[in-house]
Structure 1
């Protein structure tokens, strides 16, 4: 047994998780990650870590469902849309700009076909500039702080109001 030889159990669990993650991967994969000089194991570990972080962002946002909307709010007593994004990311040690437009500018663009939990969705709800942000949770759903008088809520990407206003997606982790 490897553990008896002094290898910490954490490494065994991590290696097992990476192995299983690799087994679940599709046979053909378009490589968009690091240059070929980086070992496939290192690349898989990074992808695995990013997927875990994105899921953690989504879960933390979901834990805030029902929190009141408060313009300028970025704490559990009340959030506006960009304050919600900032709060959740800060809990995980990720520094995020304050406003929706600043978050949009700072995010690495993500194609809609490559959305993953934790990614941000940006909307043009007022005019031609990005003015609203949400956290994608997977399966075509997102969490956001919509407006005064409402609470943090879950919506779908095919929502009649939000779908035509979707301006793009990005990632801050």
Structure 2
């Protein structure tokens, strides 16, 4: 039975997504091995790496406005809220703007896997949020018609809309 061209395209996209995810996971694991596993200002390195790994495991979950579950899809803040609740047991505020008020403000050079990164995507500061995974990349639920993905913060679109980052720990 021959695979139809559309099925081949879908299979190719799925393989490319899996390849990007595998490379990102490898980069994250290498970064985790190269950095100390403890810091007085944050949860343990293992906890925050778990946040980043779990977030990436949800790749290909579809975007859904107002969504907050893996079964039905996520919007950006629903995704972040879900990840933090299911990895660290932390209940974050529901909106990206509210999330931008919790935790500790960070400079770009201080970013570690698991930190929250914010962007101005609707001509409104802090209107989009994602989870930093290392190597100037973040995982997020981007927009309608798309799915959770890992994206480079170096891309012009994201670099020009970057609003800042926060580190959220159970101590905050």
2:46 and 2:165 map into 1 onto residues whose CA distance is 19
* The one of 112, 117, 132 aligned to 1:116: 112
Query: Distance in 2 between the 1:172 and 1:113 partners?
Result: 16
My pick for the range that moved more, 48-57 or 107-116, is: 48-57
Look up the match of 2:77: 82
Aligned length: 133
Counterpart of 1:168? 164
Q: Which runs of 4+ in 1 moved over 6 A?
A: none
Structure 1 or 2, whichever has the larger Rg, is 1
Q: Using the alignment, how far apart are the partners of 2:77 and 2:42 within structure 1?
A: 26
Q: Distance in 1 between matches of 2:39 and 2:52?
A: 20
Structure-to-structure mapping, 1:1-173, within 5 angstroms: 46=40, 49-77=43-71, 78-91=73-86, 92-173=88-169
- Give me the TM-score of the superposition, normalised by structure 2: 0.72
Shift of 1:172: 1.5
TM-aligned CA distance change 1:45 to 1:147, over 3 Å? closer
Which structure 1 residue ranges, 5 or more long, are not aligned? 1-23, 26-43
What RMSD over aligned residues (CA atoms) do the two structures have, in Å?
2.0
For residues 44-91 of structure 1, give each alpha carbon's deviation from its aligned partner in whole angstroms, at most 9, with x where no partner exists. Answer: 575685211110100000000000000111110200000010000001
Equivalent pair of 1:96/1:172 in contact (CA under 8 Å) = no
Alignment partner of 1:87: what SS?
Answer: helix
TM-score by length of 1: 0.72
Q: Is the 8 A contact 1:71 1:80 kept in 2?
A: yes
Residue ranges of structure 2 left out of the alignment (5+ in a row) = 1-34
Tell me how far apart the structure 1 counterparts of residues 97 and 141 of structure 2 sit (CA, whole Å): 16
